[in-house]
Amino acid sequence: MSQPHLRLLFSREHIAERVQQLAAAINRDYPDGEILLVGVLKGSFLLVADLARALGRPCLIDFVRLASYGNETSSSGLVEIRKDLELPIRDRDVLIVEDIVDTGLTLEVLYRHLLQGRPRSLKVCALLDKRCHRQAAIEADYVGIRLEEGFVVGYGLDYQERYRHLPEIYLLEPGA
């Protein structure tokens, strides 16, 4: 792709509002007590930070890193765990925090892997959901924004490691 063009899709205010709504829904569903947030690196680093503060309750935080093989903007379905959890999850309420669920193949591998740690509960929170691309039979329990088509960057999401720092979410359009 030559120099890509970024088209604003979601402002920082819109994202902040959706994160607050996610936190409110999570707080309604979970009984008192700690939730263990498992952020999926690198894309979820901003969401984990904002969600943890919006929840306003005791949380434990851990991260995993997965590598999925594919071309620049689509996944092949081959997923490898590059960095595993550092905290034990047995008998804990665990919430996977994902930037985006696309085919669902990455999430499916992670979900099955975490189940082996025998958490008390295991749910998924995703800021973005491209449901029409789904190939795996898995859904997020909490979804901030549903998307139809396109490859997005910003608010943690990258294209070739760029744009993660942007506070808004943009659609990446091929350059001229």
Q: What is the DSSP letter of 65?
A: E
Q: Is 164 left (phi over 0), alpha (psi -120 to 50) or beta?
A: alpha
Which one among 153, 166, 169, 170 touches ligand 5GP, defined by CB under 6 A?
A: 153
For residues 94 and 38, give the distance between their C-alpha atoms in angstroms, rounded to a whole number. 7
List % helix, strand, coil for the chain (3-state, nearest 5): 25, 40, 35
Residues 36 to 75 in contact with ligand 5GP, rule: CB under 6 A: 43, 68, 75
Q: Which residue in the list 93, 99, 102, 129 is annotated as catalytic?
A: 102
User: Please, which residue, 32 or 161, has the CB nearer to ligand 5GP?
Assistant: 161
User: Please, which residue, 120 or 162, has the CB nearer to ligand 5GP?
Assistant: 162
Nearest approach in angstroms of CB 40 to ligand 5GP is: 6
Nearest approach in angstroms of CB 30 to ligand 5GP is: 24
Helices (H), 12-133: 12-29, 45-55, 105-115
**93: annotated active-site residue:** no
Which residues on adjacent β-strands are paired with residue 125? 97, 142
Element of type H or E holding 32: none
Cα–Cα nearest to 51, from 135, 123, 105: 123
Does 102 participate in binding ligand 5GP (rule CB under 6 A)?
yes
Does 158 participate in binding ligand 5GP (rule CB under 6 A)?
yes
Nearest approach in angstroms of CB 120 to ligand 5GP is: 25
User: Please, which residue, 49 or 57, has the CB nearer to ligand 5GP?
Assistant: 49
Nearest approach in angstroms of CB 171 to ligand 5GP is: 9
3-state secondary structure of 156: coil
Chain positions contacting ligand 5GP, by CB under 6 A: 43, 68, 75, 98-107, 151-153, 157-159
